[in-house]
Amino acid sequence: MAPDFSRREALRALSIGAATTSLLPTATQAQETAPAAATNPAGVCVLLPQAVEGPYYFDPKLVRSDISDGRPGAAVELKLRIVDAKTCTPMPGIRVDVWHADAGGIYSGYERQGDDRTVSAKGETYLRGTQMSDADGIATFRTIYPGWYPGRTPHIHVKAFLDTTSLVTGQIYFPDDLSARVYKEREPYSKRPVADTTNASDGIFQAGEKEGGGTVLAVSEVGELITAALLIGVDRTGEAAKKGSGFGGFFRRIIGD
């Protein structure tokens, strides 16, 4: 029998730890290291909110940990730990896809982007890639800090699959104060230093926050490197992903190319 996940559970996520920790989902560690952005009970594994896929997903079939492709921007190490939300145990061998915009807010592979909708990145595959979670359920990517584009707060898209079963399509976010500082102080972000949307004003972020909290990464900085980490709870049966997929498909049809 499939687990009985409520809508509230399906729209909550646990952001844990200083990003340099081992991401173990224990109550003690969560209490010691959880950032202010985490609003869930310490040590509780909950489902990552399903979120719209958006118009910019494709699978370039690139299994790689470094997805930066030499794009300029602040270096980020992204650590995502996939756990079974029912048992709180790590899930090895999970396919994890991530993709996001570059420092100028442009996604690879698509036309009609940028502030004036004249930028094309057709044929490009930067800032996209796939990793399999390791024995501890962790998938690690080297990338850059995502730039903003009109109407959206900075975010990274993520998908997870167990064999051919889709477990989650989600969006994960950075603290607003960190984004503001990166855009003001670092090149090439400082060419567009004032984002028009923050977590507090982003409709997709707020949709998740209404039922348990926006999914904000835990971050730490050592020198120029930003490390960002998140514990991602999934329903291994795929039922939660099916229930949350309808709006994403509709959204893609409306604004896709």
Q: Report pLDDT for 44.
A: 64
Residue-wise pLDDT tens digits, 84-116: 999 989 999 999 999 999 999 999 999 999 999
6: amino acid identity, one letter: S
CA 214 to chain centroid, in Å, comes to: 11
Report the chain's mean pLDDT, rounded to a whole number: 81
DSSP code of residue 105? S
Q: Range with the lowest mean pLDDT among 10-14, 50-54, 131-135, 214-218?
A: 10-14
Residue-wise pLDDT tens digits, 20-49: 344 444 333 333 333 333 344 555 678 888
The CA distance from 170 to 229, in Å, is 15
Q: Report pLDDT for 41.
A: 52
Pick among 3.50.50.60, 1.10.645.10, 3.40.1010.10, 2.60.130.10: CATH of 7-255: 2.60.130.10
161: amino acid identity, one letter: F
DSSP code of residue 152? B
Q: Per-domain residue ranges for the chain? A: 7-255
The CA distance from 33 to 30, in Å, is 5
Nearest to 172 by CA among 90, 60, 50: 50
